[in-house]
Amino acid sequence: MSKYKVCVVGGHCSNRVIIVAEQLTEYFEKQGIDCQVFTHLAASEYGFPPRSNLILQLLPAFNEEEAGVPVINIKPLIGDPLHPATIEKILKQIRADYPM
């Protein structure tokens, strides 16, 4: 079974999206969630949804219809890496997709 893939989507700023992805990776590890987190910049790869099991986006780049996978907006994580409501939404989706 291939690893559950989580894509963090940003706009232009690679630094910001990398930082959020690293924070999420660290959080998932602490939670014992075995998944692969990678990044995608909408500005440089316009119009091509990343291939993943879950899209976490810092800006409204994709909708679920075009992405074909669940999409969660995670903008609040920029200011608060553990923003409770956003983290809860992410965990709920991962647990639903990938029971642990």
Residue in this structure with the two tokens 């879950």, named with its chain if needed = 54
Interatomic CA distance for residues 99 and 18, integer angstroms: 26
For other proteins, the closer of residues 79 and 99 by Cβ is: 79
- In the complex, least distance from residue 65 CB atom to other proteins, rounded to whole angstroms: 11
For other proteins, the closer of residues 71 and 94 by Cβ is: 71
For other proteins, the closer of residues 11 and 98 by Cβ is: 11
Q: Which chain residues interact with other proteins by CB under 8 A?
A: 11-13, 15-16, 19, 42-43, 46-47, 59-61, 63, 73, 75, 78-79
For other proteins, the closer of residues 3 and 75 by Cβ is: 75
- In the complex, least distance from residue 1 CB atom to other proteins, rounded to whole angstroms: 31
Q: How far is CA 67 from the centre of its chain?
A: 13
- In the complex, least distance from residue 46 CB atom to other proteins, rounded to whole angstroms: 4
Q: How far is CA 23 from the centre of its chain?
A: 11
Q: How far is CA 13 from the centre of its chain?
A: 15
For 12-75, where are the E strands, in sequence order? 35-41, 54-57, 71-73
